[in-house]
Structure 1
Amino acid sequence: MKKRFLQNLEVSEIGMGCMGFSHGYGEVPEETYAVNAIRKAYDFGCTFFDTAESYGNEMFYPGHNEQLLGKAVEPFRKEVIIATKLHINLEECMGISLYDVLCKHIEQSLKNLRTDYIDLYYLHRVNENIPVEDVAESMGRLIKSGVIRAWGLSQVSVDTLAKAHAVTSVSAVQNLYSMLERDCDKDIFPYCLENNIGVVPFSPIASGFLSGKVTVETRFEGDDVRKWVPQLSKDNIAANQPILDLLRSYASQKSATPAQISLAWMLHKYPNVVPIPGSKNQERIVENLGACNVELTNEEFSKLETALDSFEVHGHRGHIETEQTSFGNNWKLVD
């Protein structure tokens, strides 16, 4: 797999979101299956793995996903880039410096991940009561100490990104971006290209819709967050079918899958984009990573862009969220 850079971090051009092994997509697989899935991704060429301190559910406590990832990559830790995320509550900042709060969080994540450093440390969502500039300053201190190599932000506007970047250089922005959610085209991508910042889209296959596997008959069970994804209501699944039909036509021409075409489109469009599709299914994980072998010509890409511009997208969510306004408040803070 080809490599790309998130500022100074070299990663595989497609990464892997690990959340589904702990929560968010209904019943989770057994630990052995999850560990093997992560290792199969590495064997395929994936060197970029994404998790968060909060990934867990009523069965698997927060930190469970970090622990799974840490166990899986321990044999080849130095060969991969680990990204994890933290939330900061105002209450935990009372009587203690923000830097010390971050140190407490990262100490637990380091233990969970079986490592002595974290490559990329995200603020999972901005807390409106804590200035992002203060977070940026503390992240800068962590970078200088060597405990993290780089830091990033998730679900932010370009204004928030610029405020943070002015204090401590931001290496990556993890925002919602896909063929159905293209708001980042307007300002996030231009700003990031200009400032050498990577963009790491989560849900790049639109929560599975762009794979063609989700239909109006699909039922989401248990803790599956797709119950609350606007584009996956029955009405919006039906209304967005023209986009899926377009993908299928390209997939047929390129001997690929619709999901692979959606990822290949993204990779062709921006040199600084590194999508992190998430799945709990080993076959689907390998399929997604296989998008690295699908290349669109300039003409194919141009026609695809023109067609996408002509469609109305139903069920828009948007990429600007805080801890107070997060989509995840419908259930819990998730990606």
Structure 2
Amino acid sequence: MGMSGAYGQTADDESVHTIHAYLDAGGTLLDTGDFYAAGHNELLVGRALRERSRDDAVLSVKFGEMLTPAGMPSGEDARPAAVRNFLMYSLQRLGTDHVDIYRPARLDPAVPIEETIGAIAELVEQGYVRHIGLSEVGPETIRRAAAVAPISDLQIEYSLLSRDIEDEILPVCRELGIGITAYGVLARGLIGGSGAAGGALPMMPRFQPGNREHNDRLVTSLKEIADAKHATLAQVAIAWVAGQGADIVPLVGSRRPGQIETMIASTTVTLDPEDLARIDELVPKGAARGARYPEGHMPDLDDR
């Protein structure tokens, strides 16, 4: 998403180079959405994969988020007919005959989740999709979806500053054998970022005056852990999420090759029980100030 203007201007050539650097370093998971800049991101990923073996990448694709001609969100469409239509366009833009994980980006309140998952399950049977995923849904929806077909993972925000899933969502996923693909691991740049608030970030509550300063102080307190580990704040944050369980995969957005190096190096950071306890003291659960999304977007989250 970050390669398609969500956090400021980018260059396609550099983005492709970054994807190649990630694959060269042994990374496999590429996450995109058909609505990221109205298909731009899928075209970008497709371009990067033209020079590589399709088997080098695990393609995770979100669908269903509708856009206005101005590029603004305008609701969801997860009807079975729409699911099949969206996938056809994604396959064309990505230049592939299948995606590895296909998931509705948000719950469509007008369509029972059983119908949406049933439609994806048919695509699995036909070979166009390998696995079914979910995104930003709560325990009840997860159970209803899993009763229709096997669910590989739930993509949801999870970081030191966003830990709500620990209460109900994570236990349900573990009960059902569903993994977590954690996005927002660096809190959209609040943790270890450049400090800039480009693209859509200024409208995010945690970047608002008053909230931003409070959240920056929380993050800065982690410097003692990072220094002791000879790591960056970002690497500690990634290691913390990865350390919450083998069923949790941190999804880290990168826009430049140098960021890939930092991300890969986080796998060498080990946090022992004492480190984890100290981190909980420095950044207690629920300590962040401001909601995850602007008030107008919160109704779209089934998991809130």
Fold similarity call, TM over 0.5: yes
For 1:65, the equivalent position in structure 2 comes to 41
Separation in 2, partners of 1:315, 1:291: 27
Check conservation: 2:219, 2:283, Cα contact below 8 A.
Answer: no
Verify: 1:116 aligned to 2:97, yes or no: yes
For 1:79, the equivalent position in structure 2 comes to 56
Verify: 1:255 aligned to 2:237, yes or no: no
Check conservation: 1:263, 1:291, Cα contact below 8 A.
Answer: yes
For 1:192, the equivalent position in structure 2 comes to 173
Check conservation: 2:7, 2:197, Cα contact below 8 A.
Answer: no
Q: Aligned with 1:296: secondary structure? A: coil
For 1:276, the equivalent position in structure 2 comes to 251
Check conservation: 1:84, 1:121, Cα contact below 8 A.
Answer: yes
Normalising by structure 1, report the TM-score.
Answer: 0.81
Equivalent of residue 325 in structure 1, options 287, 299, 304: 299
Check conservation: 1:52, 1:66, Cα contact below 8 A.
Answer: yes
After TM superposition, the structure 1 = structure 2 runs for residues 176-325 of structure 1, keeping only pairs within 5 Å, are 176-214=157-195, 218-220=196-198, 224-309=199-284, 312-317=287-292, 325=299
Q: Aligned with 2:243: secondary structure? A: helix
TM-superposed deviation, 1:247? 1.8
Q: Which amino acid aligns with 2:248?
A: V
For 1:156, the equivalent position in structure 2 comes to 137
Check conservation: 2:190, 2:215, Cα contact below 8 A.
Answer: no
TM-superposed deviation, 1:194? 1.7
Separation in 2, partners of 1:98, 1:235: 41
Q: Using a 3 Å threshold, how does the CA distance of structure 1 residues 227 and 71 change in structure 2: closer, same or farther?
A: same
Q: Aligned with 2:130: secondary structure? A: strand
Q: Deviations over 1:156-211 (max 9, x none)?
A: 11111111111112111111111111101111111111211111111110010011
Equivalent of residue 25 in structure 1, options 3, 7, 25: 7
Q: Deviations over 1:36-79 (max 9, x none)?
A: 110001111211010010011xxxxx111111111212312112
Separation in 2, partners of 1:26, 1:273: 28
Q: Using a 3 Å threshold, how does the CA distance of structure 1 residues 318 and 299 change in structure 2: closer, same or farther?
A: farther
* Alignment size in residue pairs: 293
Q: Aligned with 2:134: secondary structure? A: strand
Q: Using a 3 Å threshold, how does the CA distance of structure 1 residues 181 and 82 change in structure 2: closer, same or farther?
A: same
TM-superposed deviation, 1:81? 0.4
Q: Using a 3 Å threshold, how does the CA distance of structure 1 residues 91 and 308 change in structure 2: closer, same or farther?
A: closer
Relative contact order higher in (CA < 8 Å, ≥ 6 apart): 1
Check conservation: 2:76, 2:106, Cα contact below 8 A.
Answer: no
Unaligned runs of 5+ in 2: 67-73
Q: Using a 3 Å threshold, how does the CA distance of structure 1 residues 146 and 247 change in structure 2: closer, same or farther?
A: same
Separation in 1, partners of 2:282, 2:269: 19
Separation in 2, partners of 1:324, 1:186: 18
Q: Using a 3 Å threshold, how does the CA distance of structure 1 residues 123 and 219 change in structure 2: closer, same or farther?
A: closer
After TM superposition, the structure 1 = structure 2 runs for residues 158-173 of structure 1, keeping only pairs within 5 Å, are 158-173=139-154
Identity %: 28
Separation in 1, partners of 2:282, 2:178: 28
TM-superposed deviation, 1:116? 0.5
Unaligned runs of 5+ in 1: 1-18, 57-61, 328-335
Separation in 1, partners of 2:103, 2:297: 14
Q: Aligned with 2:177: secondary structure? A: coil
Separation in 1, partners of 2:112, 2:137: 13
Check conservation: 1:180, 1:313, Cα contact below 8 A.
Answer: yes
